[in-house]
Amino acid sequence: MAGHRHLSAGSARVRLLNDGICPPEVNMARDLALLEAFERGETPATLRVYQWASPAVTYGVNQQLPPRLVEGCERLGIPMFRRPTGGKAVLHGHDLTLALVWQPARVRLYPRQVYLQLAPALMEAFRHVGVPAAQGDAAAPDPRSLDDGGDCFATPAIADIVHAETGIKLMGCALLVRGAKVLMQASIPLRLPEAPVEALFGHAHPVPPPLELETLVQALYQSLADYLAHNGS
């Protein structure tokens, strides 16, 4: 259900903005507007969660796109949108997508440091819904490389969360660190995509574990609120 909620956790006040199902063309612009409003001091730290009305692909701000992916999206009528964050291409439409804006307690952290601080809260959220989780351990993929088909979910990088037993990537994450403020964008597959993944990336995606949407949203909200109470604002 779409709506707003606030949770006071220690000194942090975190807003949950549940936007429900949105048209693809609004989502990246809305995430960037959320960061800009936070930078101006108009909103508190916010977790925005949403889904997609139809399939779409977002890709990292510095990514070089493989011709296969571009041609496949054009052929299938799947729109593509550049993210303000880094990382590689994500196929949406079957996932829960997150945007989190906050200011870490230690200002001007490098992205890797931000990931290392945030990962325990994300893993705890998955554990709360019965999925054993771990942090990815692969090096961040080169945004110019085409070897992985341009696919975010091909590499379980240190920025990502994986199933602790199977190694399946549960959550792909990307950051924009701008001054002291941070935007994280992340995708959690809820089911297999309807769009033909192999036609876009050259390989299939594994079946994600079953996740109940509302329970997952609440677990993410509570874990991130607890994290921000001690590590941000």
Residue with tokens 């870490």: 104
Considering the domain boundaries, does residue 38 fall inside one?
Answer: yes
Catalytic sites, residue numbers: 152
CA distance 163 to 116: 17
3 part of a folded domain = no
Predicted confidence at residue 140, as pLDDT, reads 82
The confidence score (pLDDT) of residue 10 equals 41
Q: Is residue 231 domain-resident?
A: no
The pTM assigned to this predicted structure is: 0.93
- CATH number of the domain enclosing 119: 3.30.930.10
pLDDT (0 to 100) of residue 108: 66
In a domain, residue 90? The reply is yes
In the three-class reduction of DSSP (H, G, I as helix; E, B as strand; rest coil), residue 93 is classed as coil
Q: What is the pLDDT along the chain (233 residues), one digit of tens a residue?
A: 455 554 443 445 799 999 999 999 999 999 999 999 999 999 999 999 999 999 999 999 999 999 999 999 999 999 999 999 999 999 999 999 999 999 988 756 788 888 888 999 999 999 999 999 999 988 888 888 888 999 999 999 988 999 999 999 999 999 999 988 999 999 999 999 999 999 999 999 999 999 999 999 999 999 999 999 887 76
Q: How many Cβ atoms are within 10 Å of 233's Cβ, its own excluded?
A: 15
Considering the domain boundaries, does residue 5 fall inside one?
no
* Number of structural domains the chain divides into: 1
What angle (nearest 5°) sits at the alpha carbon of residue 103, between those of residues 57 and 52?
20
For residue 145, give its domain range. 12-225
Residue 21 lies in a domain: yes
Q: Are 232 and 45 in contact (CB under 8 A)?
A: yes
**Burial of 49 (C-beta count, 10 Å sphere; 0-12/13-18/19+):** buried
Q: How do strand 169-178 and strand 161-163 relate by DSSP bridges?
A: antiparallel
Q: Strands across the sheet with 80-82, in order?
A: 80-82, 56-59, 90-92
